[in-house]
Amino acid sequence: MRLFESLKKKKFILLNIFLTLYIGINFISGERGLISYLDKKKIYEELENKEKMLTKKLKNLERKISLVKNNDYDYLDMLYRENFKYGTKDEIIIKLK
């Protein structure tokens, strides 16, 4: 009986402790908590890096397409030689890759 009487007297303190624990646990590990925030931040940074890489590849491809459309003979010659392993009798072809 003494336990119940002391709990009735201290229910405000117990309610505050319970609410503080509840808010603290949700702040750290909840759906919108600190751990979730750090995971989402990491994913966001990875996606930003991937976007930068894809943007560079796109610009490179656009440059190559513009060279082909403008009939840049040096670039076309390079493509023919690279893809078809073409060369004259006097040339020595060395593959560096």
Tell me the C-alpha distance between 95 and 89, whole Å.
Answer: 17
Helix residue ranges, H only, the chain: 2-9, 11-29, 34-69, 73-84
Instruction: Return the pLDDT at 50.
Output: 98
Q: Residue 94 pLDDT > 90, yes or no?
A: no
Q: What is the pLDDT of residues 14-40, one digit of tens each?
A: 888 999 999 888 888 878 889 999 999
pLDDT in tens, 50-76: 999 999 999 999 998 998 888 888 888
Assess contact for 19 and 11: CB atoms under 8 A: no
| pLDDT grade for 89, boundaries at 50, 70 and 90 | confident
- CA 78 to chain CA centroid, nearest Å: 35
Rounded Cα distance between 18 and 37, Å, is 24
